[in-house]
Amino acid sequence: MTHVRNVWYVAAWEQDLPEAQPFAITILDEPIVVYRSEGRLVALEDRCVHRMAPLSLGRCEGARLRCMYHGLLFDPDGKVVEIPGQELIPAQARVRSYPVVEKHSWIWVWMGDPARADEALIPPAVGSDDTDWFLGCGQLDYAASAELIHDNLCDFSHLSFVHANSFGATEDWAHTRPRVTPLARGVRFERWVPAQKGMRAREAAEPVDAWSAYDYLVPGVLLMKSASYPGGTAERLGFAPPPPDLEGASGVTFTSQAVTAMTAKTARYFFSWGPHRDHGDEALRDMLMGIAGQAFGEDKAMIEAQQRVIDATPNPRVMPTSADKGVTLYQRLVERLAREEAGEGRAAA
């Protein structure tokens, strides 16, 4: 699998990390323990140097973590500071420590060179601390590779078929193409789907023009704003993006989503969704999250089934269509960034 390492991966929702309760997750095949204790947020290799017991079964002692097999005590930087019954602590007695940051309701872990970790590279997701939005949150584990989920999220033509029931998406989603723009660290997708009755507006009598715009950023973070406008707006604007102050917007929502590759064939999918405070309340948030729960279950069923077919195929080959422009752009971006990192690694060695 090709992955970018010098990038922030979502490891958990902040509320899933209570004080002094170590949390385990595997990212890019590396077992990691995350904990917060006495104001410190720490991410370490989840494998004791002594006999490889998971430190996530350990006990927080102040900002330190004790392995609860034979009691080695680790500093937040991964260094062993105590071996019960032994004076000498070998110099190599340390586990890897990872840069870790809490932001936008997520715990982010930097999987690459710690010296390159830059908080400015954390994608501008919207967290529950942003009072402009009423957001619900959820997550799903996939028995499929993260790449298949990236492909899914970079091509919404599947909405017409996978999500006809949940999102109420019409076939227009498959028959129209978004405007796709490469970004330095992702791909931007923008589109009008005119005369819609789906989504929030399913109860509306008059069809509306649905606008949606999202960025898909490495290593798999989707940030999307959606809104509806009176029918005819898209044509009047010549299908250009609606100016931020354009009158008549309804059903304005935001979703942040993150795909984290755990192993080659497993991934965790984190998502939030909800209305802008001027366009809804907690009740609408809960209704949208109910729809999202159904819709993301539809994606999971299709993608896991797709993975099983790929695994049973000797030389799997795909045949891209014109709907795959964004998929291909994102794949090429990841390959290029991974290649650059490999080149830098060789130069440094």
Q: Which residues contact 89 (CB under 8 A, 6 or more apart)?
A: 80, 81, 82, 83
Q: Quick one: 93 or 164, whose CB is closer to ligand FES?
A: 93
Q: Quick one: 31 or 71, whose CB is closer to ligand FES?
A: 71
Judged by DSSP in three states, 47 sits in: coil
> Residue 143 Cβ, how far from ligand FES at the closest point, in Å?
30
Nearest residue to 33 (alpha-carbon basis) of 42, 115, 24: 24
Contact with ligand FES (CB under 6 A) among 70, 202, 236, 339? 70
Does 155 sit near Fe ion (CB under 5 A)? no
Does 69 sit near ligand FES (CB under 6 A)? yes
Q: Quick one: 94 or 300, whose CB is closer to Fe ion?
A: 300
Site size toward Fe ion (CB under 5 A) is 1
Peptide bond connecting 219 to the previous residue in cis, omega within 30 degrees of 0? yes
By a kind-dependent CB cut-off of 5 to 8 A, residue 202 interacts, out of Fe ion, ligand FES, none, with none
Contact with ligand FES (CB under 6 A) among 18, 40, 51, 286? 51
CB crowding 215-244: b at 16 or more within 10 Å, else e:
bbbbbbbbbbebbbbeeebbeebebeebee
Distances (CA, A) of 248 to 184, 208, 209, 226, 346: 33, 11, 11, 13, 55
Query: What is the three-state SS of 2-15?
Result: CCCCCCEEEEEEHH
Residue found by looking up tokens 């996939």 in the block: 142
At 202, give phi and psi (nearest 5°). -60, -25
Contact with Fe ion (CB under 5 A) among 46, 155, 209, 299? 299
> Residue 176 Cβ, how far from ligand FES at the closest point, in Å?
57
Contact with ligand FES (CB under 6 A) among 72, 146, 217, 221? 72
Nearest residue to 246 (alpha-carbon basis) of 228, 260, 263: 228
> Mask 259-298, x = binds Fe ion (CB under 5 A)?
----------------------------------------
Judged by DSSP in three states, 338 sits in: helix
Contact with ligand FES (CB under 6 A) among 48, 125, 288, 334? 48
Window of 21-29, 102-110, 131-139, 299-307 that interacts with Fe ion by CB under 5 A: 299-307
Q: Which residues are registered as beta bridge partners of 60?
A: 65
Structural Rg of the chain based on CA atoms = 22
By a kind-dependent CB cut-off of 5 to 8 A, residue 71 interacts, out of ligand FES, Fe ion, none, with ligand FES
Window of 50-58, 189-197, 313-321, 330-338 that interacts with ligand FES by CB under 6 A: 50-58
By a kind-dependent CB cut-off of 5 to 8 A, residue 146 interacts, out of ligand FES, Fe ion, none, with none
Does 151 sit near Fe ion (CB under 5 A)? no
| Binding region for ligand FES (CB under 6 A) | 48, 50-51, 53, 67, 69-72
| Binding region for Fe ion (CB under 5 A) | 299
